[in-house]
Structure formats: C-alpha cells, structure tokens
Structure 1
C-alpha cells in the first residue's frame, strides 16, 4: 500500500450517504469510525504516511521501539521530552490498531498484545529516563544487606498482567522493591522506601498526566497492599506480611494475573521477579483443591453486578434501560467469562501448574485439555469472549473512552453495528443475546447458591438446641436427666436409625468437642448443614446405622478443611455420591476418609463412566512431575494424588457394578505400571551419580502385579534388573533402586503409594537388591553353583516386564519362555510343588470354622499351584502355555490340549473366578481374611480337590 493512499481527510473517508467508509483500500477506516482517530489525524499531518507503513503488517514491540526512538531523540532525554514522545507514540499505535482491526487484518490477540506492549514499553522507558534524572540528585538505591543497586519492580495486574489490555484501559500497577537501604552516589541521600515512592509518583505522572498531546495510560494503584491507605511502594517483605495476615479472597483473584512488567534485563531484576513469584504463588494457588473460592467469587460477583445494575439495565432486550447495558459487568458479560476461567485456576492451580497462566482463552483451553470443561461449553465461552472484547474495543474506538456500555443514540448504535459487521442495531443485539445467554446460564450453574434439598433438621436441633434445653431443665429438676434422650431418640428412630442412643451420644460428643467449637463461623455453618444432610442420606440406605457411622468419621476427618466443606456444600451431587460410596463399602469409606482430596473426583461424571486413557494419563503425569522438577516432596505428593485419584475412579465404577473383578485387576495393574514408569524417570533425573541419559534398568513384576491380578491394597512384588557394562553400573543402580523404593513406600502429606516386596529377587532378602541381566540369566538357567529353586520357576509363570527399559524387558520375556520350556521330570516336579504347597498351608493356619478362599485346601492357592505345575511340565511341548494369560485362561488351554479333563478345567476356572469375586467383595467390606461358610463353596472346593487328585495323585 503506497503512503499516498492514505492522504485523505476524514470527510473524504465517509461515503456521501454517511453510511460508512468507502469500499477499497483508499479509505482510512479509523477516520471514518473513530472520532478520536479523526482528531489525531487532523492534528498530525504526518500520521497517514506513518499508518500506511504500519498497517501493512502486524504491530510489534520492535516497531514501537523504533518509533519511540524516532520520537524521543537521545539529545532530548528529559522527562518532558519523554512525556511528549510517549503520547505521540500512543496516538500512532492507537490509530494503527484501529485501522488494522476495522480492516479485519488484526486478531483480538494482536490488538490486546499491541496495547500491552505499548504499556510495558512506556513503563520501562519512563523508569529509565526518570531513574537517570533522580540519580543526578540522589544517586542509586542500594540494598543494606546485599550492597546491590535496587530497582523498582512494577507489577502489572488485571488485563495488563494477562496481556489482554484493551485499547482505552487503565493500567493496574503495584510498585515493589526488594531491600531497604539508602541511595548512594548523589549529592543527597534518601531511604530506598522514599526513593521508590518518589520514582513511582513521577512514573504515574509521566504516564497519566493529561497534556496537549493527551495521556499515555491512566494508572490505578488501588490493588496495592491496603489500597489507597497503603504506601505507594512497599518492600517484598511488607507484601509477604500483608498477604499472610490480611490478604483477602478477592486479592487472590487479582494476583492470578500479576506479572512483572518493568525491565528484567539485570540479574537483580530477574532474581527479584523470581522472589515475587515464590512469595505470591502460595497465596494465590493453594496446595489443596480449594472449593472455598466459589462462595467468595459468588459474593464478589454479586457486589460487581449490583454496582453495574445501578448504572445499566439487564440483558439487551430483557429489561428497562436496555441500551445502556454493560458488556463487561452485566449478565453474560466479559467478567462472568473471566470468573469461570479463573475459578479453575484458584481451585486447582495449586496442584496443576498448567493452570497458572494468565490469558483467559488459554485458561479455557487448558480446562478442556484437563477434562474440567466440556469442549462445547469452552467453545461457547471463547466465542462470546472474543465477540465481547471486539465489541468493547469498537465502543472505545469511538472517543477513546473507557466505556463498556452500549450506546444510546441511534447514530452511535448504527456506527457500532457496522463496525461489528452487522446490518443494523437489532441484528447486533440479537447476536449479542445469542452469545451471552449461554454464558449467563453456565455462570449461574457454576456459581448459583446450591440448595441441598429438603431434609428434616435433625442436626443441630436434636443435639445443640436439645442440649441447651436439657441443661436448663436439669438445673431446675434433676429428675429430668434420665428421660432427656427420649424425644431426640424418637426422632432418630422415626428417621430410620436403630441404635439411636449410640448415635445421639456420638452427635453430642461432636457438638461438645474442641474441634467443632474451634471451627470458624462459616465452617461451622457448613459442617452443620453437612451433618444434617448426612443424616438424611444415611437414613435412605438399607443399613443406615453403619452408613451414618462412616459418614460421621468422614465429616470429622475433613471438618478442619474449609475447602472440603465448601465442595460438599456447593455440590450436593458430590454429597450424594459420598453417601453411596460410604454405604457400599467399608474399605472405600476408609479410603475416602484417609484421602478426602478424592472428593473432587465425585464431580466428574464423564470420568466416572469412561475407561481410562492411559496414554493421556501418562502424559499428564509426566507434565506435572516436570513442572515440579527439583521439588522432591511435591513430586512425591503428585504421584500419590494421581494414583489415589485413578484408584478411586476404578473403585467407584467397581461399586456401581460397572466392572468385573478381572477388569478391576487389569486397571489397577496398568495404573501400577504407569506409576512405576513415572517414578523411574523422575528419580533417575535427580540421581546425582547417574552416568548416562537414560538408565538401562527394568522392573520385573511377580505375583499379583505380574499376573495382572492386582487388588486395591496389594503389595508390589518386584525385582530390579540392569544391563549395563559401565564399571560404576552396580553401585549406581543399587543407589537408584534404594531411592526408588523410598519414593514408592514413603508416607507424605498426600499419603502412601505402594508397599513393595523385593524378596523374589535371586537369593531373596540375602541377595543383591539389583541384579545384572546376565547374572539373572545364569541363575534362572542354573548355570553355576548359585541357582534358582523350583518355587522361583513357579513364580516366573506369573512374572512380566512392567516398567523401564523395554529392551531389557524383551530379553526378560525371552528368558522367561526359555526357563519355562526346560525339560523336567514329572515325578520330581510334582513332589517339589506338593511339598511347597504343604509349607504354604502351614504358614497360613485357619483357626476358624470358616473356609479361607485363598489358603485353605480346595481354594485359590491349590488352583494356582496346579496351573504352575502344568505350565512348568508341559511348556516344552506346548509353548503356548508360557503366555502370562492368567489362571483361568491357562486352565482352559490345558483342557483343550488334553492335559487335564476339559470339563473339569472349566469348572475349576469358574471356581477360581467365584473365589476371586467373593474375596474382592469381602475386602471391600473391610474383612482382613477372605473367609466364608464352607457349605457356600462346597461344589467349587470339590472340583478343585478332584483336579488336584488328578494332577498330583493325592488328596
């Protein structure tokens, strides 16, 4: 585009009918639609030529720096010269932005990015000019402890911090500095505090003072500690004390977008910015899931909407004074979209660093990626946000006014509609309503005050109110004491509870406890609501007494965590699912009570219904561990939280009858494999003695994990192999394995991960913790003096590579097949395995009359030993038996091969399946031993006995 193409006046830019700009490229759209741009163009004859060059490509920081250098020559390096140059630069940027935007050449991101770049450049340039000027009188501020020259740290809040600045926005700033001290090197000296206050005041004046050239940015300092009542600049120490002692919920929301916008060119500035991040992050992002923010945002939004309602009406077309509707603060407006994005950050940002980002649209994208927001809803929010921000800019283009209200005059409405590409004002309003209504509905669904549903107020009426009445009655007449429980017990009995006296005593003990009385007023109100709701939900179960007991244990465990109380108060459906979980399983109740952070999982109906995506799980886990690199405790907590959450999802599907026992075992085994892989990778990166980029190291699973029959509380039977010729390999991998075991077994604030048993390694507990692959091979193939026992070959039938170096894993699988396919003497093998079975039985005595599903004769161990015998004896002739396919499949295979009676093989397979299912149910019910009435399993144990007799020739 030639420079002369823009040599038109504002009048020439308009079509004769006044209906908008001329078609074609010879028109300044900014002059046609912006009163502000028209005034600037009239005052700056040089501007059309500058714009012609500027609008041909996206605006960049480099272009602005070049223009500032042209406008502010070094020879005129004074405050007044800087003021004039920055204001003239601002006019050029504004006109270029308006022109590119109205021509459809600029995205929303380019517009907000250009205004953000302008603000940062103005702040940094102003600080440089003013700092040099102050230095002539006061020198430079120096830290009392470090002796380093200090710099003013300017923090951009709000849309400046988020790089989302609109075209006529104020900039919200906070002025900070690192150390106290005094200035040095000038004729006069000031304390650092006073120096930075002076510098801050002059910076505000440089940016916001209205001169003949206008202003650069209006500056708002009210977000600083203590607002207008606080000092203009404060030290990091002062800020930290303020956030810890006085920081309020709305300030957490504000600090989400806080970002250093002053120059970070010096090591001191970079270090100070890092200190600021470490100081503010724990304030903004809590380590736990923080659902308390929902009520806080609800309250804040109510205040904002109330204020907006005083100045405008409801949604366009839905109320009086509709033409002055506020697109930022009104229903379905920009602020509601921002709130919905940032609630994810405040709730979950402490555990997921990916959510600690600033731009609203990026937050929505991460929320979709994390499964927190359905893509369709995120799309609606994103479309509305882009449209509203573009409309906001066009409203502000008209007169460079910080307005968010729709215009009231027909002329203004017509111009704005055309700027938005709509045929007329009603068309714009229709499009606006179409986009805002889903936003408003989503916001109300997220932040509406929940109604837990009707239930009789058994708590606290029957405990707290009744206790006060009893105390008063007993003081007047002690004879009332014996009957003072009659009425509340009757009410509990009427609700469906049986052991009413015990329940009443428990409730009274809670009401009188120090823990309950120490709760804040808000937490106590929520706790009262939840106990009452728990009584109502428990009464609906078929075993209300057991359910309410578990419920009370659970509520007492979470009572001091306001966030968990908030979650259950905000989401009644989560409370319903808690009731179902507590009722269904004693083990599940104990698990949830130990790990209350799992409450969050109860909100995701899609995750509870679907199968796990292990690739996505591994990717997410890898990202979270990398984000916490170097923070060992945090990484260990991440592993535990992710494992607990996935286990809980399996458990919930299990309790709902969605999974078979085999599916539960498969998922838990796959989960263990993923956790082992993640731990291997993370620990190796932190191992100081590592000698290669990736370890040549593998984890081999035995037992339940090896056979993919893992239960909820199963140990991991594992061994460690390496294949590395490096001279330091044995000691490096030994240290690695010890560190791995520590990471897997340590109890942290997030609980435990696994119990690990490594006694199946060569030579058991007396052997080396890690074994070279060659040594393991010789041991298993009995080459040399130190050789494997028969029972170790039995164990190999249920062993597999589960994590680490896949090449070692492949070599292990080949070796396993080679070992299992060795020729064996049937009689000797039969005797060895029968003898081992007797030893196992002696080690697990059953003093009861009940049948132990696992260890008693005719149970699971008999089936497993029988399968192991068949695999070891016949794999040489039938290699398909070496498949680690599980006992049921191997029994069927042996039957089809004619090694055992086929019908009997199926019957014993069915028995094994039933044994596992009953064992699983009993474990979920909290039973330590899986024992049942012998008669209930008589047919199954008879089939197992028949098979044992047929294979081993003994009863």
Structure 2
C-alpha cells in the first residue's frame, strides 16, 4: 500500500457478516459518524463489528475519530497515537497521563486492527505497529514517572523490551515483558538512593500501563523476566544483573535475551548491558557444554513428539503441537547453537532468523518456506482470536457458533475450510519441528511436554504432570522452576543446573511410579535442599538413571534416610551398585571389617573418619531394608548392635594406641560395659549408646611413656579420648551419642571407675534403679581377665536377694517418675507411652531382681527374657503371651519409626506411603486399625504391670 493511500482506499477485503443484529447495532450507534464515511468502508466496519464485540465497542467509543482514521493513511493515524504517548509525559499528574495513554492506545488499537483486517497491512506490519506503539507508551510512562520522582533526567535508567515486544512481534492483545535496570553512576547518586528512585519509577511505570480505569488499560505489564524475580525488586542494578546472568543465568533466559532490546530511557546503557551479555547468550565454541545447554533448553521448552496430539477444538495456536512456539524454538535453538560463531544468525525476529538459517545452509529452503508461511498464518489467526474480545487467548474455540465466528473473521469461506487449513498448518509445523530433533533421545517422547521455564506454569506441562499421577501439578511445576533459579546450594552453578535439567524427565518418570507421586516428589525436593553441592550427585544420577527407583522408594517411606543421603553422599554409592538391597553381611564379619578400615587409616583423625564412613554405610543398608520391609525388625536390631560393637571396639583400640603413643603403657586392664539397648542387643538405627568404663590396676602404677601418668589420670584421659572418638563430629559427621549417666554416682562420679569401686558401690550404695540398669548390661570388650570378672560381678549383683515389697514399690515409683519426666506423646510413642516398651522392660527388670537369687540371670534381651520367665514359671503362659505379642508389635513399630523418621512416628506429618508401611508393621490393613491394635496392647501391658509390679502411682510411706 502506498503510504499516501487512505485507509478507506486501502481496504482489500472484508470479512462476511457473522451477526447481522450486531452489525445493525453498530450502524445505530455510529449512524452520525457513518455519514462521512464511504459506503464500502461503512460496510467493512459493519462486517467487522458483527464478528468482534470488542471492536464494535471501540468503534462506538471512538466514533468521532472513525471518519478521520479512514480518510488518512493508517501509518499517519498510528504516528499520531505514538506522538500522543510521547506528549503524555507532560501531563500534570499520573491520572491525567493514564487517561492520555489509554486514549492513545484506543486509537492505535483501532487503526492497527482495521489495517490488519482490511489487508492494508500484512500481519507482521501489524505486529510492528503494536510494538512501536508499546515502545512509545513505555517511554512516555517512564519519562512521566521520572518527572514525578523529581529526577532531572532518564540517564542511568533503561527499560528492556523482552520476548515478542523486543522482536517487534507483539500480538494484538499481548502483554509486554519488561526488565527495568539502573546504574547509580550514570544517575549520579549513591546506590541506595538510586535503587529507591528506580524501584519507585518502575512501580509507577507498571501502574501507568496496566491499571484498569474507566478508559481501560494500555498494556498488561510483566516484570518477571528480570533476574531472580522472586528475590529482587522491580528494578535491578546493572551490576547485579550482570552478576546474576554470569553466575545463575538459565537456559530459558539465554533464549529470552535473543529478542531483548532497550526500548525506553537510557538506550545507550541498555545497549552496553546487552553487549556484556553476549558471551552469556552466544557461546563462542560449539563444544559439549554448548550442545548440552541447548539440548537442555529444548528438553525444557519444546512440546515433544508424543506429547499432546494436534487437535482443533480448544487447541492452543501458540503453545500446542504445531503452534507458534514450535516455530520460534525451531529457529532459536539453532541460533543458540550456531550464533556464537556466526553473528549473521543473531536476529531478534523469528522470520529473519529462519531466513538467515536457510541462507547459511543450516536448514533447507523448503523448511524455511513452510515455517514462514505457517508462522504468518498462525499469527493471523492469533490476531483474529484476540480481536474478538480483546483477550490474551490462543485457544481455538470449542463451540460451533464460536468456530463459525472465527472462521468468518479469519477470512475463510466456511468452518470446514478453516478447520482443514489450520490442521494442515499444525501438521506441517509438527513435521518440520520433529525432524529437527528426531534423533534426540528424550523421555518426553514417552511422557509428553514438560516446560519448566519462565515464571508461570506451562499448561501442557501441568496436563502431563496430571497424567503422570501428580495431584499437585502446579506445586510440582513451581518447585522445579525454583530449582533452576540457583536458589539451592546444589544448583548454584551453571553446570549443576544443566545436569539437573536433563535429570528432570527421568526423575518425574520414576516419581510417577511411587504410590503417592506428590509425596515422593517433595521428599526428593527436601533431599535437594540439603545437598551441599549438586554436580557430583547429578552426574552420578545421569549415568545411573535406574537408581531413581530405589532412591525414591526409600525416601518416600523414610524422610530420615533422605536427610542422611544429603549429609553423607557416599551412601548414594550403595544405591549405584545395588548393594543396598543385597542381604547384609554376617554379623560376625563386622568386627573384622571395621578393624580393617580403621587400621588402614594413615593417622588417628583418618581412623575416626574411616569408622564413621563404615558405620554410616552399614547402618544405611540395614535401615533402608528395614524401612521398605526387606528385613525384619529383630534382624535389623541385631545388625545395628553388632555394627556398634565393632565400631566401639575398633575406636577404643585406636584411642588406646594414641594413649600409648603419648603416655606409654600401664600395667592394668579396662573394659567398656554397654547398657540399655546396646547391652541387650536391641539397638535401633538412631540409638545412643549407654556406656560404663571400668579399669583395674594397682594404685601406685604409672605409665611408661615420655609423659607418664598415674593410674587414675591415665584411665580418665583415656575415657575422655574414647568418648570423643565415638561421639565427636568430624568431617564425616558424628558417630554415636554417648550417655554415661548410668555409671556409679552418675554425672558426679568419675568417668573411669576402678573395679574395686564398682564392686563396693553396687554392694553398699546403689539404688534399686541402678541395679535395674544392670539387667541389660554386657561387656563389649576388650576380652580378658577383667571382662570375665566384670561379667561375674554383674551376675552376682543381680542375684542378691531383695525385699519383694520394697522392690515392687521402687520399680513402680521409678516408672512413675519416668512417665512424669518424659510422657508418651501418642499411641505411636511405643517406648514411653503408658503400657509400652518401658513398662515391659521394667517388668523384666523387676522379675530379674526378684528371682535371680533362685534361678540365675535371665537373657538380656527383653523378648528372650520374657520367654525365659515363662519357662521358669515366673509368668503365666497367658501373661507371657500377652507381653510377647505386645513386645513384638511395639518393637517393630519402634524400629521402623526410627528407620523412617529418625524419631517417634507422627501420622499427621507422614505421607501415605509411610502410613501404609506403619499399618503393615502392625499387621493391619489400615492406619485406624493399627492404632486400635496398639492401644489394646498398651492397655493390656498397663494392667499386667499393675498386677505384676504394682500400681505405678504408689508412694513410699
């Protein structure tokens, strides 16, 4: 069209009338204006009004301007609207500027729509006009905001146009994506004031553009493409932005900046900033990292082959298969791969990029022509969709009436022709696009489209996640987008984020197999949040994708192991070689294995670390198998105890060697006694270890080293060193929590107890509860004369005859005090709850102290002792059976609770997989039945405690 041709004379075609009544309403509303309009132009307006309620309202709103708009070239009217935007900065206040900008937008929207529909402008000229108007509106709003902020100039503040705006490709009802940057030096003020001004100006700018008033709005404005939008202010300093993109810039941000350009404010500052970003956007060398990065973009952002099928009703012409986004990505992914070495490919506009790719031989000319023709047609349809009601929509209608409206508005003869044309277009794009990536192995070919870029959830991605079984698809999508921002320690580096991007599809595929995919996902997210770094772990996963199944299976049931994985990444190796599910070694092998690890260490510190690594790996294997049900609780308990025994003996030997190295040897022996669960062989994965150290030596002895010590000091220092070896946190973490409060005189007593003092204390001073603690006591080592003497002494202490009435009162009162100090907090707190494991243990201790003088010492472990008491007829068969049944279920619950949570199981905080596991541990099908079973056993045990030991609430007279 000649630039001097009026818009009325430039009308090349008009749509058919869709709604005659709407056309007549337009004629009635605008009859005075139509008098001055040529008949063919009047008919054209009527036809447009019949199809578009929005444009009919706009015609009525601007009816006084219709004749003038049609009488001059479209470009003249657009330039007038653009000029109004520039002049709006001189408005007296924000409200006046809002009105001026909105009136200018109405004029621009009117003339651009008419020029586009009439065929006076091709579709891309319409997008160019919309983008130029957006530039003017942003510039006018920015300058007005700066004026009201009392800054004298726009120096140091720039607005970048992103996406379609940056490429002059805005659609008719598009929002605009902006990034506001500032430079304190150019603003010539300190950075704190500069940020305050820039943030205020950015907010004023957005308000001017998008606030809905009686005159409408200008553009919906989005600032979320700025660096790290969740953590940054609306305006970001240039230096902060450069640091962000250098350190944390993501794949989708590289793609976004292909189209970026400064559109308002300090244009020179914007150009300088984009120049600094060139190495980030355009990789110079086509190396492995570049290809991986671009493939990661493609994996994240394209709707993969095998995703949603091409459809008509409700199909998204932008994001759907064969849509506008696939044409854009078709060009942009190749630009990113090759644009670093070939600057001729660095075009913002999609059609320019396609032409450049064809000219350099990257794509065939046929592919360029198909993609170009398809792009123009889909943009044409997109505009007609949005012009109907001024909605930011890209979905084809579903109702027959709306389909007919759109087909007529788009210039088709009938809906059938329109349907055929658009489906042919989708299929043509799909074929070209898939051909580009047909050799790329991608789980999305099985799963469907998965896009985790930008700041909003991708509709097709949510659909894919829902099909995979995720109930909280929106939360899952948001979480994965957060992962890629570098907000976690594990994803701080670009390499980690690239690896994680590749991991997401197979990870989601594995998560979908879990009984509760959402629960499994968020368990994995907690694992990620705790990782100190990501590259090593992500690389291991990528080369062993099948490990996900095991990892997710374990972490879904055991949040505790999820935490341990994060702290001790060496545990992942157990998953990688599948050793975690193999039967654990024979318990008799633990001592030799641990000794070998500790002995091989080059120094004492290395020995402590070696022991910690060994224990963590052995405990992990047993804990994981216990959590998922591959090993029985009583077997697991035995393994936990033998692992502890091996570590204690190995580290005590290492600690003694250190003592000998510094202070020499001494003529004497020591032993360590295990009490509580360690002594009874009933440890859980999180049990602490109750220890008592006993030594025997002549009082006058001294060590024979360069720095000799007397007996008391020698063994006291040794115990402190030994406890540190067993409990201190090293680079491999802590090993055991050591409790020595059960030694003679408790905290007030010496750390190392001489054997004669041990003998005298329990003969003359020990309380009943201290004798009770010896029921489970066991010498851990080292073997020797003293070990035999201590075992015999414990046996003799337990066998002393006691007053039965006083004994019952003491035991019941002790239980009462424990209940007051640490009451059970729920039915599931099977150790501390009334009628729980502590009651059963106290029954055994009471029976031992009451009868050992006649029948000897029973087994240390509670289950074996109950069976022994039954055989000795100290318990009736009925009572013994009740206690044994209760103990079995309580112990199983305790063991699995510790393996799963690291503490007391809480149903309210547990996921469905763990709830199901705990019900099965109780031998029940559902959680409610399990709780009822536990409560019934606890009531029975409480009654038996009262009948065997006595009322726990009794008092000494």
TM-score relative to the length of structure 2: 0.48
Larger RCO (CA under 8 A, 6+ residues apart)? 2
Give the structure with higher Rg (CA).
2
